[in-house]
């Protein structure tokens, strides 16, 4: 009598097993992508902050260079003048004297520098031109954006006062009993700048920078 045996089931995965496996692989792929995306975003954020700090350092370096090269031309033009929104100053250059203007316009801190001049009349014309800047002139540089506040103070004899006050105006007469420099101006010991940062700057809080004025 012949015995009958059922053939062994063919090897393989059922449809349910395949679907489960695909689901698991999909979840793992999503988790892996989220991890990679997080790493990329963190790296981009770190690079952006580094770029912002490098730019800020570069701008502060230019600010300090302008103040350190500020010069009394011994004319009727003061070494600097601050009106609350713009700072005009005269600085020495390799080919003459430049007029430099730092200004805050609609949340953007800007810098403009004239061509070097060597004659008094040229300097007077350039100084007057610097009073009429609109912010769109050739040579205007947008150095920082998102600036919400700009304050300037001068240090004189250990005291700090607003750069617009009479005690800090370079062209003002010296105190009674004090002698004025040969150029007729009484420069402060130094200037203190305070910048406030807001949305769009990539920075936060306030930055204070002190610069000593050369006698």
DSSP per position, 109-154: EEEEEPPPB-SHHHHHHHHHHHHT--S-STT-EEEEESEEEEEEEE
| Higher-pLDDT residue of 126, 46 | 126
Per-domain boundaries in the chain: 48-212
- pLDDT attached to residue 183: 46
pLDDT tier, 171 (very low <50, low <70, confident <90, very high otherwise): very low
User: Measuring CA to CA, which residue among 161, 114, 116 is closest to residue 140?
Assistant: 114
Checking if the pLDDT of 188 tops 50, the result is yes
pLDDT single digits (tens) 19-65: 888 888 888 888 877 777 777 776 766 677 778 888 899 999 999 99
| Higher-pLDDT residue of 127, 12 | 127
C-beta of residue 116 within 8 angstroms of C-beta of residue 96 = yes
In angstroms, rounded to a whole number, what is the distance separating the alpha carbons of residues 121 and 85? Answer: 26
Region 187-201: mean pLDDT is: 87
pLDDT single digits (tens) 103-119: 999 999 999 999 999 99
In sequence order, the β-bridge partners of residue 107 are: none
Residues 49, 137, 112, 162, CA torsion sign: negative
- pLDDT attached to residue 15: 80
Checking if the pLDDT of 73 tops 70, the result is yes
C-beta of residue 88 within 8 angstroms of C-beta of residue 99 = yes
């Amino acid at each position: 009598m012949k015995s009958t045996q059922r053939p062994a089931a063919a090897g393989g995965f059922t449809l349910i097993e395949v679907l489960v496996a695909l689901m698991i692989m999909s979840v793992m792929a999503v988790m892996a992508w989220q991890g990679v995306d997080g790493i990329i975003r963190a790296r981009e954020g770190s690079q952006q902050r580094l770029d912002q700090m490098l730019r800020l350092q570069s701008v502060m370096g230019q600010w300090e260079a302008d103040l350190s090269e500020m010069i009394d031309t011994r004319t009727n033009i003061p070494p600097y003048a601050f009106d609350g929104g713009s700072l005009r100053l005269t600085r020495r250059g390799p080919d003459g004297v430049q007029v430099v203007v730092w200004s805050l316009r609609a949340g953007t801190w800007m810098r403009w520098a004239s061509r070097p001049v060597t004659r008094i009349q040229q300097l007077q014309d350039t100084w007057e031109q610097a009073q009429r800047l609109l912010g769109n002139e050739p040579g205007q540089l947008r150095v920082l954006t998102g600036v919400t506040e700009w304050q300037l103070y001068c240090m004189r004899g250990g005291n700090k006062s607003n750069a617009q006050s009479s005690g800090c105006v370079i062209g003002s007469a010296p105190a009674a009993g004090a002698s004025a420099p040969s150029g007729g101006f009484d420069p402060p010991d130094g200037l203190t700048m305070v910048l406030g940062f807001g949305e769009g700057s990539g920075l936060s809080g306030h930055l204070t920078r002190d610069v000593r004025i050369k006698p």
